[in-house]
Structures are given as C-alpha cells and as structure tokens.
Amino acid sequence: MVSALIEREQASSAFPVRNGVFIAVVGPSGAGKDTIMAYARERFVSEDSVEFVRRVITRPSDGATEDHDTLAEAAFIEAEARGAFALSWEAHGLRYGIPACVDATIADGRVAIANASRGAIPALRARYENVAVVEITARPEILAERLSARGRESREEVLARLARASAVELSGAGVSTIDNSGEKEIAGERLVAIIRKAIAFADVGRF
C-alpha cells in the first residue's frame, strides 16, 4: 500500500518538467516557420544547450521544408500507445508527435525548439514549467501568395486554411510574434534573440 502511494506521488510530481525551456514555434502555413527555424539552427549548430526537435509526422518528407521522421498512421498510433511521444496531435488530416526524449532535454536545463500547433499549447504548458510561444506570421496577402505558389490548394482552400489558422488566439505569458513579411534574416535574428534569452533563463525560473 505504501509503495503504491509513493509511486502515485512520484508520477504526480513528474510534471511539469522543470529546468529548461520549450520553445513552441507556431504560425499559419506560408509564414516561413521552417525557413526561420533553419536560419536559427545554423546559428546554434555548435551549442549543446539548444536542441531543434525532429518531429514525427504521418507524411513523407519532401526535403524542401521540414526535415522530419515519417511513420505510417498505424505505426504512429502504436508508437503513441507505447508512450513514444511527449506530445501528439492531429491537424490537416495528419498526425504529429514530439519525441518523449524531449523531457530529458528540458530536465537537463537545455532549450528545446519545435514546430507546434496552436491547439497543443495548453498541453505543452501542462507538461513543461517554462514554455515560450513564438508565432511566426506574415501579412495576409503574402501568406496567400506563398500558399498559392505551392500549387497544392485552390484559392478557396487557401483562404479556408488561413481562416482556421487565425481561429485559435494565443494568450498567456511568454508569447512573442515575429513578422516574416520581409527578409528572412530580420525574422531569423529575432528568433535567435528569443532563443538566447531562453538559454539565459533556463535555470532561473519561468521564461
């Protein structure tokens, strides 16, 4: 009986994971999240205190955008049931997962950065003590132009996607917005500055 109580207490105290900072990068399709994150990744390539998280998605990697690990849907569901993900969600008919090893990254006092979903923010804040949310966006006409240039969706589908992206408002502490309507270096340096702030505050309290 005593051991069962101890196990329950340990389980309840495991979250939120403290020490490090999780930076969730969100924003509408066409905002250039992958481009800006790639820019920042190059700036921190030699720093052990920062980890750019490789997500798992039920979509083949096209090599042109995010470099992610791919699982078929059935394999993803099986991995999810095994506890392979710290966080998982569904969007646009796909499944997305953040590997469970990120918990150790945060517990070690490091900074983890991942492309995330607006709807996943509450779960992230419940799992990690220090969460910074970075919204990368651009002017509506630029978003529409970028999405149309991909040739994957009709104009109506593009407008519907943009409407869905703006339906969930971001609130709470640690939320920053980066406008990527111009040169990628401008937005990239803003993300770099946010990451450096997270490194500095990783061990001294809430971001």
What would the mean pLDDT of 76-88 be, rounded to a whole number? 97
Strands 94-99 and 85-91 turn out to be antiparallel
What CATH number is attached to the domain comprising 158?
3.40.50.300
Query: Residue 60 pLDDT more than 60?
Result: yes
Torsional class of 30: left (φ above 0), alpha (ψ -120 to 50), beta (otherwise): left
Whether the CB-CB separation of 188 and 8 falls below 8 Å is answered with no
In a domain, 206, yes or no: no
Domain that holds residue 117: 18-52+110-201
Strand partners, 95: 90
72 found inside a domain: no
pTM higher than the cut 0.85: no
Residue 203: pLDDT band (50, 70, 90) is low
Q: Is residue 165 part of a domain?
A: yes
Compute the average pLDDT of residues 35-46: 95
Q: Please check if 20 is assigned to a binding site.
A: no
Amino acid letter, residue 123: A
Note whether residue 153 is domain-resident: yes
Residue 197 annotated in ligand binding: no
Q: In angstroms, rounded to a whole number, what is the distance separating the alpha carbons of residues 153 and 156? A: 8
Q: Is the peptide bond before 60 cis (omega within 30 degrees of 0)?
A: no
Residue 188 known to bind ligand: no
99 annotated ligand binder:
no
Q: Is residue 145 part of a domain?
A: yes
More confident residue, 172 or 41: 41
As to burial, measured by CB atoms within 10 angstroms (0-12 exposed, 13-18 middle, 19+ buried), residue 16 is middle
Q: Give the Cα separation of 126 and 15 in Å (integer).
A: 7
151 annotated among ligand-binding-site residues: no
Which distant-in-sequence residues (6+ apart) come within 8 Å of 168 by Cβ? 118, 119
Specify the amino acid at residue 201. Answer: F
Q: Which residues contact 20 (CB under 8 A, 6 or more apart)?
A: 105, 106, 107, 108, 109, 110, 111, 112, 128, 130, 202
Q: Is residue 3 part of a domain?
A: no
172 assigned to a ligand binding site? no
Residue 68 within a domain: no
Total domains in the chain come to: 1
Mean pLDDT of 153-163: 61
pLDDT at 170 over 60: yes
Whether 29 has a binding-site annotation, put simply, is yes
Note whether residue 94 is domain-resident. Answer: no
pLDDT over threshold 80, residue 152: no
How many helices and strands in the chain, by DSSP H and E?
Answer: 8, 9
- pLDDT for the residue numbered 1: 37
Q: Is 3 annotated as a binding residue?
A: no
Residues 100-145 pLDDT 10s: 999 999 999 999 999 999 889 999 999 999 999 999 999 888 887 7
Give the model's confidence band at 65: pLDDT under 50 very low, under 70 low, under 90 confident, else very high.
low
From the number of C-beta atoms within 10 Å of its C-beta (0-12, 13-18, 19+), residue 34 rates as: middle
